[in-house]
Amino acid sequence: QQQVKQSPQSLIVQKGGISIINCAYENTAFDYFPWYQQFPGKGPALLIAIRPDVSEKKEGRFTISFNKSAKQFSLHIMDSQPGDSATYFCAASKYNQGAQKLVFGQGTRLTINP
Amino acid sequence: DTAVSQTPKYLVTQMGNDKSIKCEQNLGHDTMYWYKQDSKKFLKIMFSYNNKELIINETVPNRFSPKSPDKAHLNLHINSLELGDSAVYFCASSPTSGRGNGELFFGEGSRLTVL
């Protein structure tokens, strides 16, 4: 059972365009929703994150939009650059006994064409 | 300075062998994790330790045995390797402070290939 569903699986955007990746979750107990960026041969690295009491969070060109009632959240990358080409993972988690159990989406391979 | 380091980076072995992957973090975190990334890039948690205590133990075959000698180290031993164990294994760590800020710091991964 996939608790976090992510789409699209792959995305091609022109330089300067807006990249949008969507995720939906099922478990209402989740209390933390991060996005991770992964380059080939590297581990995932935190890009931006949001808690469910906030509907939007913006950090530079990256924005998370969060819809608690619909149990959906999305990542928007404004003015997309070739250096943004990577695999992006949404995740959801609940903090328990000192551990953050992240449940990841399936990933989106983003390619920004110059 | 590498924050979360794993060794080896690559591991090629035959079916039926036993192998170990080691992980060390110098971030002062209390919690460490093992994640498995399959050929489709899907990331799934396997184990988590907080201060050497096992906190998360997902549905993982008991051929996989984690060990945390201290809070800076988390090793993964795999017995009787199978073809399906081929994957990239990521170690991660996170701070513990109340609810925590939720960020996991991942190592660069250990690519295991079972022939």
What is the tens place of the pLDDT at every residue in A31-62?
A: 899 999 999 999 999 999 999 899 999 999 99
Closest Cβ opposite residue B107 in set A31, A43, A106: A43
What confidence tens digit (pLDDT) does each residue in A66-112 have? 999 999 999 999 999 999 999 999 999 888 777 888 999 999 999 99
Strand partners, A113: A14
Burial B32-55 (b: 16+ CB within 10 A, else e): bbbbbbeeebebebbbbbbeeeeb
C-alpha B76/C-alpha B71 separation (Å) is 14
What is the Cα–Cα distance from A36 to A87, expressed in whole angstroms?
A: 8
Residues of A in contact with B44 (CB under 8 A): 104
Closest partner residue to A87 among B4, B41, B104, by Cβ?
Answer: B41
